Amino acid sequence: MRPRLAWLFLAAAGLASLAAAQSEAPSAVFRRGNEHAARSRWDEATVEYARLAQDGVKAPSLYWNWAQAASASGRKGEALWALMGGRELAPGDASMIREVERLRGELGLDPSEVSLGFLGDLRMLARRFRFDVLAIAAFLLSLFAVMGRRPRASLSLGALLLGLLLALPFVAGSWREPRGVVVHKDAPLMDVARNDAVALANLREGEVVPLLGEEGEYVRIQDASGARGLAHKSDVRRIGIE
């Protein structure tokens, strides 16, 4: 009976330690990642930040620090991806916008090569300048204009139309094409979804590409030159933190 009890005790202890590890506070993981970064251990830092992201943590500071660590280690494509993810959470953050532009310049990319597409860029612009708040204000003005002591139909209609116009980028943006960032230099663009497939071309690090579909561990994309093919998911990370 003693060996069996010993095994039961060890199993219980193992499960307890596993549960404790899984329940580790995000703040502790974030602090450990920052400590790694402070010691210039960039890879260890990004591992901790990635762990937080996998656990569902959504915070601009997480992606900002992730971008700084990736950039310091020379992984500028990954840094650009992290910044664009952080910008999704804080579209009005001027520091995020400046860093995206700085990295774009360092990678030698045109503005069109880091575009989210017409609908995506329109939605980002609307979020940056808080069109949602302005739309709500316009709708309220329309309501007050028609329900006041002196109803003004023309003012109500004008405010309603303005509100609809301001809300349009958010509605249209929900139909935007998903996009990803090439996070590795010279990532291969292949013709079939196999590791031994022939590379049609090499993708530019940091380039934002439309995601046209998935095939197992691969995504079908189109680069800035118009060439279509398949890239491994580890080479192209989808933008979209929300």
Interval 66-80: pLDDT, tens: 999 999 999 999 999
**In contact, 84 and 93? CB cutoff 8 Å:** no
Interval 9-20: pLDDT, tens: 444 444 444 444
> Residue 151 above 90 pLDDT?
no
> Can you list the alpha helix ranges (DSSP code H) found in the chain?
2-22, 26-38, 42-54, 60-72, 76-89, 94-106, 117-128, 131-147, 153-173
Give the whole-angstrom CA distance, residue 78 versus residue 206: 7
Percent with pLDDT over 70 in the chain: 90
For residue 116 the two structure tokens come to 């989210």
- Extents of the domains making up the chain: 2-108, 122-173, 179-238
Interval 178-234: pLDDT, tens: 999 999 999 999 999 888 888 989 999 999 999 999 999 999 999 988 899 999 999
The CATH architecture annotation of domain 2-108 reads: Alpha Horseshoe (1.25)
Q: Does domain 179-238 sit in CATH 3.40.190.10?
A: no
